[in-house]
Amino acid sequence: MLNEAFQVRLWKRKLCYVAQWQCAWRAAEHHLSDCSTRSHLEQTQAFMLTRALDHDDTLLSRFISTSSSLGFPSYAYSLFISNHRPCTYLYNTIISALSSSHPTRAISLFNALRFLGLPPDSYSFPFVLKAVVSLLAIPLGNQIHCQTIVSGFNSHPSVVTSLVRMYSSCAHLSSARNLFDEVTFKHVSLWNTMIAGYAKVGDMSNARNLFDHMPENDKDVISWTVLISGYTQVHCPNEAIMLFRFMQLENVRPDGITILAVLSACADLGALRMGEWIHNYIEKHNMLKSVPLCNSLIDMYAKSGDITKALQLFENMKHRTVVTWTTMIAGLALHGLGKEVLDVFSCMEKGRVKPNEVTFIAILSACSHVGLVEVGRDCFNSMRSKYGIEPKVEHYGCMIDLLGRAGCLQEAKELVTVMPFEANAAIWGSLLAASTRCGDAELAAKAFRHLRRLEPQNCGNYLLLSNAYAVLGRYNEAGMVRKVMRDACVEKVPGVSFVEVNTRVYEFIAGDVVNINIVGMCDVLQSINRHLKMVYHKSAQRGIDFDDCTYPYSF
């Protein structure tokens, strides 16, 4: 009887210990979810050490992931190496944590995993391949590809997808496509990864072809978003918007990333009606709390001509990041509202939001458009002295453009000589345009020589130099420039305009005779032309003087 009572007490004590350990485990997990600083992590680590929870692989793995996500990868690494009995699970965690911030160390840990004789699993290879992508080390990627074959994971869906992503990110699309074609059963993530690979390098023809051959049931919101984003990045906004319409017809609900891509396309096209429809969609689905979406809406409205609506959105935002302020400043600069730009920038400083490099590009651009030379100089000088931002070549380009537009050619030339960068095409282009306005043919010729080397096929440079000579009456030199342009087979880029009708954007190219509607459009224009002439003659007979009246061109 005594023995049985002792056994009961022993079991009760064990159950009590287990209950206490489980309670401590849950408390540690709760502490980890609340961690936001290094101090919180250290307190949680002390809590785990005093309760012998540092030997639990699951909790330690969670601790390493949290440390890395909070921006303390070195602290996560120190925790890992202090563990004297690491397993594949913990190795995978630390490799994943270091793959972006410390890719070289992550690859070393993967090699250490194999050296210790621990078998890599289906998680190990995707994590280490992510580190390879960070380094763009294709020879190392080839070696790991061979190891997946040896380990028997070369046909695992997540491993194959990671290999395709690695080859695509390293610009080896042929290897990625060969691997993609070898797979008999293609998961949706594999399709999306291959399409994204083509879209990333701007090969939208192959991306669209692959998308069209993708099984209809496999196309998800990611598939559509990848293709729409690709069209936006290669400056094909019309195609992006058309694809978005097809996506709606297929009843695929767009997410925030899709909306961002379509808003960017609307901004490029100036498709205000389409942008307003998307704005209503965002409000309907309660997505206006997203700061990036609000920033994109402000950018879209500003670029589409409705700066009032952009300001209204900006003023209604409760939380504004530096990107929000910069987007609003850039929108106002685009409309030539220099005073408003400075007012918004002043409010930004009062709100203790530190401007970044892009903010100053927008401010200097605004000063350039409205001729605020002194203000531009002050802003340019304050970048380094007040905000500790070292001016880059883009800032020097804006400053040179500002000085050139204001006629301060000598100061602009001096700034080119003292800046710590080699002048790029934008800077020489600004000098060429300024010298054309001021009639400085020597500076125009010097800028053109540099531009011909940097942008040999840019027709605008030839035309600016020709105009510079023509303004000074040096018509022989102007003709020679035109002849050089013809001999170099540089063609003038035709003008393009867009018209939005019923949320659909139509593109018109100057001199386009292939358009099937060209005959009808010419008939309408001729009718308008005849009507205007008739009105003009009737008004002239009544004695109305039209000094500023100009006849439209005849067709």
Interval 494-512: pLDDT, tens: 556 656 555 555 666 655 5
Are 391 and 380 within 8 A, CB to CB?
Answer: yes
d(CA 84, CA 88): 13
d(CA 428, CA 400): 9
- Give the chain's radius of gyration (CA, Å): 32
d(CA 8, CA 126): 50
Report the percent of the chain where pLDDT is more than 70: 76
Q: Is 131 helix (H, G, I), strand (E, B) or coil?
A: helix
* 181 vs 1: which has the higher pLDDT: 181
Q: How far is CA 483 from CA 452, 453, 470, 486, 491, in A?
A: 14, 18, 14, 5, 12
- Cβ partners under 8 Å of residue 163, min gap 6: 129, 141, 145, 148, 176, 179
| Confidence band of 555 (pLDDT split at 50, 70, 90) | very low
- 3-state percent helix, strand, coil for the chain, nearest multiple of 5: 70, 0, 25
| Confidence band of 327 (pLDDT split at 50, 70, 90) | very high
pTM (whole model) above 0.95: no
Mean pLDDT for 198-206 is 91
Interval 396-446: pLDDT, tens: 888 888 888 888 888 888 888 888 878 878 887 777 777 777 777 777 777
Q: What is the mean pLDDT of the chain?
A: 80
d(CA 145, CA 374): 59
What is the dihedral angle through the alpha carbons of 257, 259, 262, 264, rounded to the nearest 10 degrees?
-70
Q: What secondary structure does DSSP assign to 248-284, as a single string? A: HHTTPPP-HHHHHHHHHHHHHHT-HHHHHHHHHHHHH
d(CA 341, CA 329): 5
Q: How far is CA 314 from CA 268, 293, 307, 366, in A?
A: 20, 12, 10, 18
d(CA 516, CA 519): 7
| Dihedral sign from CA coordinates of 172, 178, 181, 185 | negative
| Confidence band of 549 (pLDDT split at 50, 70, 90) | very low
Of 213-227, 430-444, 452-466, 497-511, where does the model show the most confidence?
213-227
Mean pLDDT for 482-494 is 62
| Confidence band of 553 (pLDDT split at 50, 70, 90) | very low
> Residue 500 is inside which H or E element, if any?
strand 496-501
Q: Tell me the backbone φ, ψ of residue 95, rounded to 5 degrees.
A: -65, -45
- Cβ partners under 8 Å of residue 125, min gap 6: 144, 147, 148, 151, 153, 159, 162
